[in-house]
Amino acid sequence: MTIDKSWIRENRISSKYFEGLKNFMKIAEKHVKSKGKVRYSCKTCENLYRHVLPTVYAHLHDIGFLEIYTTWIYHGEKHVGSSDLSYNSTPRTNTPTSNEMFDVVDDVMAEQNTNEENIDEEGRGIDSEFDDLFEELNTKLYPECSNIWTNSSFDQLVELLRAAFPKSKIPASHYKAKTKLRKIGLGYQSIDACKNDCALFWKENGSMQNCPICKESRWVDTTTKGKKVPQKVLRYFPLTPRLRRMYSSRFTAKDMSWHNTGHSIDGMMYHPVDGKSWQDFDQRYPEFAKEPRNVRLALAADGFNPFGNFNSTYSTWPVVLTTYNTPPWICMKESSFMLTLLIPGPKSPSKDIDVFLSPLVDELKMLWSEGVQMRDTSTNTVFNMRAMLLWTINDFPACGSLS
């Protein structure tokens, strides 16, 4: 019997694609392995991974079917000749999805899928939480939903929407929504700070109610009943999860070793790897240099007025990192910048910036001396990744503070 495959080139919102996808899922159901997983042929995964049927459906629905998969050898059909006829002669390509959140969740899921023996405290596979995320990404807030809620309307309408649509997948609160992001390494820590920038209420000072230096209260109002409001809050975005995401993504992992093979061959300097500072560092620390996947970082910090009012002197300081492992057309792109600290105003931290840099400095020390275990999806190997801060990028006033 000939299987109709003409639907795989149809528009994914067409009825013909939808009917063809339903028929394919019936076929895939017959080839599920003992753990309930089957290979799937979306344009991104190309039959390289196995997963549960709801996730397979979500991928094929949102990403599209791999058109060059013309002989379904993983779903019941047999080879019809010598050579590899599971694909036609069209070169394989990694087609990006139109849904960036699918890319993010999919990369993390792939990292977890390499160890199918991972079991959580409830006896479920670790990757089952990503199944839930995929299903939610593929579920509309309500039928015919086409608009996106803004952040402000989210908080105002979530309670009403849950009451109106009790069977919906709407998060119970803004906190619950953020929790899902934390699962894939996109969260941040709120660390209370002294009003006068003397110290952070962190680590050994975490339980203090007054600054250990100036004795100023930690709270705006000490008499408030319930949850107190801190005088000042530092937002810290840990670096390690961000680097882990870069190595767990098949789109970025291969670029993290570019510096090892991308040296200039004509004596010109196209990238910091061609400079004397980089080469001097490699000579001083050969153990670090011999692992090309170790990370070289640059840090940039400066103040800006978030309110866009030149009559105000309010100054918020973001601290941003970028990695120089990647090629020059990537390392300085905005999408490659990693916000690690957001230092609050109203005034510049000046010489007290070291107080706010403490969490980042601690993490950088750990990444330099000990490192962390990373999985590199480009080679499917696990290695001990270390990192170091090679340069800072500042104007002269900011340089004076960071010095």
Please tell me whether residues 167 and 68 are part of one structural domain: no
Is the pLDDT at 367 greater than 60? The verdict is yes
Is the pLDDT at 8 greater than 80? The verdict is yes
- Backbone φ and ψ of 312, nearest 5°: -105, 145
The pTM of the whole model exceeds 0.85: no
Output the six-digit token pair for 229: 């409001």
Please tell me whether residues 91 and 41 are part of one structural domain: yes
8 Å CB contact between 286 and 274:
no
Please tell me whether residues 246 and 386 are part of one structural domain: yes
Please tell me whether residues 62 and 166 are part of one structural domain: no
Q: Which of 100, 123, 148 is the C-terminal boundary of a domain?
A: 100
How confident is the model at residue 218, as a pLDDT?
92
Residue 356 in any domain: the answer is yes
Output the six-digit token pair for 247: 């190595």
Q: What is the per-residue pLDDT across 148-195, written as a single tens digit (0 to 9) for each?
A: 555 566 667 777 877 887 877 777 777 777 776 676 666 789 999 999
| Region 115-141 average pLDDT | 50
Residue 283 in any domain: the answer is yes
The per-residue pLDDT of the chain, averaged, comes to: 79
How confident is the model at residue 12, as a pLDDT?
78
How confident is the model at residue 87, as a pLDDT?
41
Output the six-digit token pair for 227: 């949850």
Please tell me whether residues 333 and 389 are part of one structural domain: yes
Please tell me whether residues 60 and 152 are part of one structural domain: no
Please tell me whether residues 256 and 373 are part of one structural domain: yes
Q: What is the per-residue pLDDT across 45-101, written as a single tens digit (0 to 9) for each?
A: 777 777 788 888 888 887 888 887 877 877 877 655 433 334 433 333 344 444 555
How confident is the model at residue 118, as a pLDDT?
43
Q: Which of 73, 100, 127 is the C-terminal boundary of a domain?
A: 100
Residue 19 in any domain: the answer is yes
The distance between the two most distant Cα atoms of the chain, rounded to a whole number of Å, is 82
Q: Is 246 helix (H, G, I), strand (E, B) or coil?
A: helix
Please tell me whether residues 305 and 389 are part of one structural domain: yes
Which one, of 118, 94, 119, 120, lies nearest residue 42 by Cα? 94
How confident is the model at residue 199, as a pLDDT?
93
Please tell me whether residues 161 and 45 are part of one structural domain: no
Q: Which of 150, 183, 216 is the C-terminal boundary of a domain?
A: 183
Residue 193 in any domain: the answer is no
Please tell me whether residues 154 and 285 are part of one structural domain: no
How confident is the model at residue 104, as a pLDDT?
57
Residue 61 in any domain: the answer is yes
| Region 297-308 average pLDDT | 85
Residue 76 in any domain: the answer is yes
Q: Is 156 helix (H, G, I), strand (E, B) or coil?
A: helix
Question: What span, in angstroms and rounded, lies between the C-alpha atoms of 161 and 170?
Answer: 8
Residue 383 in any domain: the answer is yes
How confident is the model at residue 219, as a pLDDT?
92
Question: What span, in angstroms and rounded, lies between the C-alpha atoms of 401 and 403?
Answer: 6
Question: What span, in angstroms and rounded, lies between the C-alpha atoms of 403 and 400?
Answer: 5
8 Å CB contact between 291 and 261:
no
**Percentage of residues in the chain having pLDDT higher than 70:** 77
How confident is the model at residue 210, as a pLDDT?
93
Which one, of 354, 384, 388, lies nearest residue 372 by Cα? 384
Residue 35 in any domain: the answer is yes
Reported as a pLDDT band with limits 50, 70 and 90, residue 145 is low
Number of domains in the chain: 3
Please tell me whether residues 300 and 384 are part of one structural domain: yes
Q: How far apart are the first and last CA of the chain?
A: 74
**Could you tell me the residue range of the domain that residue 273 belongs to?**
238-402
Per residue, the 3-state secondary structure of 171-238, as one string, reads CCCHHHHHHHHHHCCCCCEEEEECCCCCCECCHHHCCCCECCCCCCECECCCCCCCCCCECEEEEECC
Reported as a pLDDT band with limits 50, 70 and 90, residue 270 is confident
Please tell me whether residues 393 and 302 are part of one structural domain: yes
Q: Is 354 helix (H, G, I), strand (E, B) or coil?
A: helix
Q: What is the per-residue pLDDT across 29-44, written as a single tens digit (0 to 9) for each?
A: 888 876 778 887 787 7
Is the pLDDT at 288 greater than 50? The verdict is yes
